[in-house]
Structure 1
Amino acid sequence: MTEQAATNAQPKFEIQRVYLKDMSLEQPNSPGILFTPENPQVDIQIALNAEQAGEGIYEVTLGVQVTAKQGEKVLFLVEIKQAGLFQILNVPQEQISSLMGITCPHILYPYARASVADVIQRAGFPPVHLQELDFHAMFQQQMARNQADTAKA
């Protein structure tokens, strides 16, 4: 095997691009809610989507939704989709799944956190600082759910 062929067969994982795919902010009860001193209830939802975008290129999108309410009144709703293009070559399929479910979201999450804090602060509220997430544990839970669903079918 030539050196060039050996190099071409090496596993490769590279970030091609990180970008903000979508962002929205809703404040349905402004401006009145800006003067309320109470601490809101904050709900945070995380979603992950991964799909092949080309030969050896995968797009991973991390969705973050933050909803703050005071009683039944919505103070704000922020939705962010932070995405990245990743080149993954010469990697077994089962490892590609873990790269897209653990490594890629771990790379994207700091960008999403910063965007969430920034847009909430620009809306006139104190920033919401998202806590670190254990994407490995989340991936393992999803795999267990998938296996349970397969066993039921």
Structure 2
Amino acid sequence: MAEMNTNDLSNGQDNEPQLILQKIYVKDVSFEAPNAPQIFQEIDSQEQPQVQLNLAQRATDLGSNMYEVVLNLTLTCTVGQRTAYLAEVEQAGLFGVSGFNETDRAGIIGSYCPNLLFPYARQVISSLVIEGGFPPFLLQPINFDALFAEQQRRSMGSGQAPATLNS
């Protein structure tokens, strides 16, 4: 098996496109059940809990063709007017991206990387909800390609250049 130095993402002789996953990690995690234990009785009643998912992502250029991509998921469950729980995770990854043109690099960072991070974030959210004493909740898959395309369309429609990276 050939060895590959994952720390060397310099524009080599061939300048071949390279995408290297360096690390996946939880950057921040939070769980709150502000109305426990009373909320458990309300969940067991006939009133149906309402769940809202907020999704955000950001990418930071770390230099040397390295990017940190952070996927932020916030899940809020309410019963009536009361919050049952709030689960939040910032799932991050370090990616080496070199040799791609600007459009392809933006697509990788804006769509491929969040898609890779999502199963990890989904698992963290699921564990938090269960360990918080609530019924299991499984987030459905998210089409990051469509979200990225919509973001690009909005950026073009507003006359602004698409912004993909934070410095």
Q: Which runs of 5+ in 2 are unaligned?
A: 1-11, 161-167
Find 1:48's aligned residue among 21, 33, 57. 57
CA distance in 1, matches of 2:13, 2:93: 28
Give the corresponding residue for 1:65: 74
1:77-97: CA deviation from partner (whole Å, max 9, x where unpaired): 111100000000111111110
For normalisation by structure 2, the TM-score amounts to 0.84
Give the corresponding residue for 2:100: 91
Question: Structure 2 matches for 1:1-153, cutoff 5 A?
Answer: 5-6=13-14, 9-36=15-42, 37=44, 38-150=47-159
Identity %: 34
CA distance in 2, matches of 1:5, 1:116: 43
Report SS of the residue matched to 2:52. Answer: strand
CA distance in 2, matches of 1:80, 1:52: 21
106-115 or 25-34, which deviates more: 25-34
Q: For this pair of structures, how many residues does the alignment match?
A: 146
Q: Which runs of 5+ in 1 are unaligned?
A: none
CA distance in 2, matches of 1:14, 1:49: 18
Structure (1/2) with the larger helix percentage: 1
Deviation at 1:70, TM superposition (A): 0.6
Deviation at 1:58, TM superposition (A): 0.3
CA distance in 2, matches of 1:134, 1:62: 14
CA distance in 2, matches of 1:69, 1:5: 56
CA distance in 2, matches of 1:34, 1:149: 46
1:61-111: CA deviation from partner (whole Å, max 9, x where unpaired): 000000000111000011110000000011111111000111101110000
Give the residue type in structure 2 aligned to 1:30: A
Structure 1 runs of 4+ with >2 Å offset = none
Deviation at 1:128, TM superposition (A): 1.3
Deviation at 1:35, TM superposition (A): 2.0
CA distance in 1, matches of 2:57, 2:83: 25
1:106-130: CA deviation from partner (whole Å, max 9, x where unpaired): 1100000000000000000012100
CA distance in 1, matches of 2:93, 2:109: 10
Give the residue type in structure 2 aligned to 1:33: I
For normalisation by structure 1, the TM-score amounts to 0.92
Report SS of the residue matched to 1:100. Answer: helix
Give the residue type in structure 2 aligned to 1:19: Y
